[in-house]
Amino acid sequence: MTSRRIALVVNPTSGRGLGARVAPVVQRRLEAGGLDVDRYETTCAEDVGRISAEVVASGADGVALVGGDGTLHLGAQVLAESGMPFGVIPAGTGNDFARGLGVPLKDPVAAADLIVAGRTRAVDLAVAEGRFITTVVAGGFDSLVNKRANAMTWPKGNARYTLATLAELRTFTPLSYVLTVDGERIETDAMLVAVGTGPTYGGGLQICAGAEIDDGRLDITIIRPVSRLTLLQMFPKLSKGTHLGHPAVHTLRGATVRLESPTVTAYADGEILGPLPVDIGIAPGALTVYG
């Protein structure tokens, strides 16, 4: 019986060096599980897509990608619709795609075991601006927080999002939006609008609580205007998904979303997507994952 050949693609700088520390542990576990491992290391963001394309062309049986949501986003651009199984080894700040898949976040050996087991399933990706998106498109207060958090060098981990949230709250005012969901036009003022295939962003905030990553639908969450204090009080609820009972929170589901607001820059998978308007669609079952 021929053993499976896995390409281990490592972003050594993800998670402030966590990727480099995790990689040898994962490689040993994959090899102990009987897999042949070809290891690749990225030196810049552009490497992820190039290496992923090389892996697809090489005829490997699958890919294990060590990195955070930004790294996975780049890999997904090549691996989506390729049919090549894709294993996630979380090593970033947010790790929201891994969280949505149910991959163990703090146990790289357990994450590697999912690849060794070899079971696969197909999951959905959102599509916007010609790009595949693995988690959530953020537009509004949350995208401003994302921008600020990305620019911060301290503190590490999710605490960056907390500090960025407090900083943005000082000056934020509600925004005017036009949403078109499956052809139905909605005009509303809101603090934010989020559109995702999975439930979380920002390192575990369940903005689209209850979203299923393989149901062929986009989940939309609108937080209508509230006071700054109320918005601040909502953030702990976002971690648990209990914000959905708040009267200012409105949720929708659909296959296509057009999001418009004159001053908003959208973020997706924690990175800049571009200024609104943006059209978001769904690619059902676009990515094959281990787990």
Residue 23, domain CATH: 3.40.50.10330
- 265 and 180 share a domain? yes
- 110 and 51 share a domain? yes
In the predicted model, what is the mean pLDDT of residues 231-244? 87
3-state secondary structure of 224: coil
Structurally, the chain folds into a number of domains equal to 2
State what percent of residues in the chain have pLDDT above 90: 72
The answer as to whether 290 is a domain residue is no
The answer as to whether 125 is a domain residue is no
Domain span at residue 266 reads: 132-282
- 199 and 251 share a domain? yes
- 162 and 261 share a domain? yes
Report the alpha-carbon distance of residue 36 to residue 30 in Å, rounded: 8
Q: Give the pairing type, strands 271-275 and 86-90.
A: unpaired
The answer as to whether 249 is a domain residue is yes
- Helix (H), strand (E) at residue 59: none
Q: Which of residues 118, 143, 162 is at a domain's end?
A: 118
- 139 and 277 share a domain? yes
Report the alpha-carbon distance of residue 63 to residue 270 in Å, rounded: 22
The answer as to whether 127 is a domain residue is no
pLDDT tens-digit series, residues 185-204 = 999 999 999 999 999 998 89
Q: Which of residues 96, 118, 140 is at a domain's end?
A: 118
The answer as to whether 194 is a domain residue is yes
Question: Can you give the pTM of this predicted structure?
Answer: 0.90
Task: Give 251's strand partners.
Answer: 221
For residue 58, pLDDT beyond 70:
yes
DSSP letter assigned to residue 244: G
Report the alpha-carbon distance of residue 11 to residue 27 in Å, rounded: 14
- 97 and 149 share a domain? no
Output the domain CATH number for residue 241: 2.60.200.40
- 138 and 271 share a domain? yes
- 114 and 193 share a domain? no
- 83 and 31 share a domain? yes
Report the alpha-carbon distance of residue 29 to residue 24 in Å, rounded: 9
In the predicted model, what is the mean pLDDT of residues 55-81? 94
Residue 175: name the closest of 148, 206, 196, 144 by CA.
Answer: 144
For residue 112, pLDDT beyond 60:
yes
